[in-house]
Amino acid sequence: MSMETTLIILKPDAVQRGLMGQILSRFESKGLQIAGTKMMTISQDLANQHYSDHKSKPFFAGLVKFMTSSPVLVLAVRGVSAIAVCRKMMGATFGSKAEPGTIRGDYGISNSFNLIHGSDSPGAAEKELGLFFDAGDIQEYALGNQDWIYDASEDL
């Protein structure tokens, strides 16, 4: 098991609905470390870069319009297997199909507004973190309770 840092974006609907604190709290309660935060309005150029893999898909223009419509909260989240853990916590892409107990399952119903983005692989996380955070923005620090989060015998 290895420490990973992943990008999480609390999308405009999460910000506008006042869910930032509740969602952020879930990651911290799980034992994940918040290593960086930034509240911002995503520019058209940054949205185009971030979602470039979807450029040829019919929903691309609407996605870019949505992601640039209001502020977002961008997070760098760190932990053992953080990418998989965060994605499981997020739930299925569409709120109407997400299981209760997940972020989208508990807070979402829409198939368009899905509250949260999370990197889907180590390569994507590295690329995405580089798009949203500058050098020095992501902090390196030890959690004082780390021995209580992970099995103390694990070599981290």
Residues with catalytic function: 117
User: Which segments of 5-121 does DSSP mark as H helices, in order?
Assistant: 12-16, 20-30, 44-50, 60-67, 82-90, 103-107
- What residues contact 100, with CB distance under 8 A and at least 6 apart? 106
Amino acid at residue number 128: E
How much is the CA Rg of the chain, to the nearest whole Å? Answer: 15
**From CA 86, how far away is CA 92, in angstroms rounded?**
12
Adjacent-strand bridge partners of 36: 76
Strands 33-40 and 72-80, sheet pairing: antiparallel
Closest of 127, 132, 144 to residue 36, by C-alpha: 132
